[in-house]
Structures are given as C-alpha cells and as structure tokens.
C-alpha cells in the first residue's frame, strides 16, 4: 500500500495502540483540534480482539460497548460477537478518519533531552519520534500470564494459555483441564463440554461471583450504586447471586464469601456472566476441582493432593499489561506494573504522558474507554492552552519517521 501524502506533524499527539481505548482517545483528541497519529504494533486495528477465541462475544450490551461518536450496528444483536466488534472498530477508524500507522511498534518511551521543546521520544524500529504528548493505550490484557508452576516444563500433555485457544474442535474426545474460573475459563469449559470433549474439569482457586448472562445490565446498577457503602453493595450482590444462581456446593463449587464489589476493588476482577457454565456444572459435564499446584510429567497435582492426567491444560489465567519495557524507567508504574495515574491524571514528573485502558471497572471496560478519552481530551485542551507543545522542526522530524509506518485501511 502506498504511503500517505506528506503531512505537517508540528503539533500532534501520538497514541500507542489501536484498540478501543486508543481509537476513542484519538477520535476525541481529533475533535478537540489536536492532530493525532496512532501507532500500532500489529498489522490491523483491534488485533487483540481479532486473536481471541472464535465463540467470544461481549459481556456488555451494545449501548455500553460503543465508543464515542458511533453506535454499534443494530444488526450485531444484543451480544456482539468477536468478529462483529472487530468490524465495528474498523468502521470507527473510517468514520472518524483516524490516522493509524500499523506495523509500527513503539519499543520504548523516554524523556526528551533538556532544552528540547519535545517532552517525549518514542523509540521505533525506524528511529526515535519526538512529540509533546503521548497516550499509552496498549491495554491491560497485553501479554498472556502463564504461571510458573513447579514442574511445568515436564508436562507431557498439551499446555496452552487461553490466548492461544481458538475453538473446541481440536479437543473432541480429550480430557481437558481448564485452569481459572473467570469469564474466559468458565465460557471455554462450558463450550468444550458441549462440543465433544470427553471430560472437562475446571481448576478453581477462588469461587467466582456468578450472575446470569441477562444481568449484564448490572453495569447500570453498578453506576447507580457507586456512591453507596461497599459493604451494602457486597451484601446486595451476594443476595442477588443466591436468588439467581443455584447452589453448586455439592458439585464442588461453593458460593463465594466475598462480594463482587470488594473483589473488584482488591483484585480488579469482574463477576462471571453465565454462558451455560452453571448448567454444565449441575449436570456434571464440567467438574470443578482444586487449584493447580504443580506438574509432574503427565500428571497435574492439585492443592488438595489429587493427581489428574489430562490430555490438555488450558490456562485461563489472565494477562499482564507488560509496561515495564515501554515506560518502566520513568517512575510512572506501581509495584504491580500498572500506571500510577490513568485518564486525565498524569504523574507530576511525566506531564504529557497519559494512560488509557488499565482499569477494569464494574461499570464496563468499553464504556470506560469513552470516559477516559473524554477526560484526556479535556486535559489536553487545558495543557495546549498554556503553551505550544512542539516546534515545527520537531514535527518535521517526526513526520519523516512516521511516514515509514504502513497506514491501515
């Protein structure tokens, strides 16, 4: 594809990552009159969504899944599929005429030299890109987290992270152990059980808070009850689960003792929306077992001393933001590797460096993309009102580097 015509990049913001948060931020910055370029490491927008398993669908309704300025098409239905959402993201780029440079990874961000009008240098394979403002939107779910279980390397079966699981077809007739009872783990286990796997077990460390799928509208409830005491919200959520979800204790999955609001605050996890998992456990098609402790050749050792010998282990054990290589030297991350400040807030020592997409609110991650994008755009307007960010010669240098990135489309 031919390069885009030469442009003047003398005053612009760079967004790192072309997922929902990056696209929303770029769209609203553009509305504010700030020329914006998105740098994306892969060869397409929404790459992390496109790479997820085939039967993935959103756990939020279309109204809470839309990004600012464009609704999700009605044809996508009440539970938007993976492919439909990727198409929506592509339409969003076209609708807002966003400038996305694919196959242009940002390897490291560092402060510009003292005395330079640029605040930041973004190191890419084609050279450093100077700029005055950066929005990092590489995502909370950037890198699969595969625990370092003792003996993991000795396992003679198949071990994969859920990021590399695509469909239940390869696992027909197999004994499969799914590790992790979050939304991905429970959904994968339920699908495997109904698609021909010989035996499906799910290793559970902490009993999940489960709600019926129809209660995805609890996001609205979460917004309405945000001002209420945490203890009250927890008690209400536990009562709701008792009324709406059967007791699975006899099947090896006791009711949770901690409310979903406290778990979200402490661990950043959301409740499980039931996609048939509860019925699969009740019928015995999915068997909850204790947490994985270690591997020993063909065996998996559980915390209660049980030994299993599955053909395949699918680790639905979450992701890491993996920001250390990108911004780890700047003092902007906490001990868990997450940004100390997100949205409109910036670290006092890192003015002009914003982070979007690193929280997991009960009110909906995709809804949060719009909230953070609006906040960043407002903060940017305040900042640019005080001083010009870049001098023309900095912009010309950046334009030359960015022109080497291949535009999407």
Residue pLDDT, tens place only, 351-397: 999 999 999 988 889 999 999 999 999 998 887 776 544 444 545 55
In whole angstroms, what is the distance from residue 185 CA to residue 286 CA?
Answer: 11
Residues 196 and 240 occupy one common structural domain: yes
* Any domain includes 3: no
CA 233, distance to chain mean position in Å, is 25
Rg (CA), the chain: 23
53 CB-contact burial (10 Å; exposed 0-12 / middle 13-18 / buried 19+)? middle
List residues bridging with 159 in a β-sheet: 313
Average pLDDT over residues 99-118: 91
The single residue listed with the structure tokens 């398993």 is 53
User: Cα 185 to chain center, whole Å?
Assistant: 15
Residue 1 lies in a domain: no
In this structure, are 149 and 107 located in the same domain? no
Report the pLDDT value the prediction gives residue 389, as an integer from 0 to 100: 42
Residues 6+ apart with CB under 8 A from 328: none
The answer as to whether 103 is a domain residue is yes
Eight-class DSSP state of 407: E
Sign of CA pseudo-dihedral 129, 324, 144, 153: positive
Closest CA to 394 of 22, 44, 8: 8
pLDDT of residue 9: 38
Examine the domain organization and report whether 91 and 166 are in the same domain. no
Domain that holds residue 152: 145-318
Q: How many distinct structural domains can be found in the chain?
A: 2
Residue 146 near residue 315, CB atoms below 8 Å: yes
pLDDT at 67 over 90: yes
What are the pLDDT digits (tens) for 195-215? 999 999 999 999 999 998 775
Domain's final residue, options 280, 302, 318: 318
| Residue 6 domain-assigned (yes or no) | no
Domain contains 128? yes
pLDDT value for 5: 32
């Amino acid at each position: 594809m031919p390069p885009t015509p030469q442009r003047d990049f003398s005053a612009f913001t760079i967004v790192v990552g072309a997922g929902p948060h990056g696209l929303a931020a770029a769209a609203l910055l553009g509305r504010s009159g700030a020329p914006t370029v998105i740098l994306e490491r892969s060869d397409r927008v929404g790459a992390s969504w496109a790479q997820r398993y085939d039967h993935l669908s959103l756990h939020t309704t279309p109204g809470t899944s839309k990004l600012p300025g464009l609704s999700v098409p009605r044809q996508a239905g009440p539970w938007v599929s993976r492919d439909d959402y990727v198409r929506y993201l592509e339409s969003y780029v076209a609708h807002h005429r966003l400038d996305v440079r694919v196959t242009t990874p940002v390897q490291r961000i560092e402060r510009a030299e003292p005395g330079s009008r640029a605040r930041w240098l973004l190191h890419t394979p084609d050279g450093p890109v100077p700029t005055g403002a950066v929005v990092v939107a590489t995502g909370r779910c950037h890198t699969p987290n595969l625990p370092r279980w003792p003996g993991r390397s000795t396992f003679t079966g198949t071990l994969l992270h859920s990021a590399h699981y695509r469909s239940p077809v390869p696992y027909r007739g197999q004994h499969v152990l799914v590790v992790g009872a979050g939304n991905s783990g429970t959904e994968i286990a339920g699908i495997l059980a109904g698609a021909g796997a010989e035996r499906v077990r799910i290793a559970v460390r902490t009993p999940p808070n489960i709600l019926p799928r129809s209660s995805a509208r609890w996001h609205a409830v979460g917004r309405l009850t945000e001002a209420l005491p945490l203890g009250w919200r927890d008690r209400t959520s536990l009562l709701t689960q008792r009324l709406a979800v059967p007791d699975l204790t006899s099947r090896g999955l006791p009711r949770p003792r901690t409310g979903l609001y406290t778990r979200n605050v402490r661990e950043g996890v959301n409740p499980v929306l039931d996609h048939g998992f509860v019925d699969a456990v009740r019928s015995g098609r999915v068997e909850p077992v204790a947490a994985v402790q270690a591997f020993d050749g063909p065996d998996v050792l559980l915390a209660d001393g049980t030994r299993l010998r599955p053909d395949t282990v699918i680790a639905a054990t979450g992701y890491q933001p993996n920001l250390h290589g990108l911004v780890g030297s700047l003092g902007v991350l906490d001990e868990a590797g997450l940004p100390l400040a997100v949205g409109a807030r910036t670290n006092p020592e890192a003015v002009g460096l914003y982070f979007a997409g690193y929280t997991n609110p009960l009110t909906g991650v995709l809804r949060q993309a719009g909230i953070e994008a609006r906040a960043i755009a407002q903060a940017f307007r305040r900042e640019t009102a005080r001083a010009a960010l870049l001098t023309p010669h900095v912009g010309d240098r950046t334009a030359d580097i960015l022109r080497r990135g291949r535009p999407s489309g």
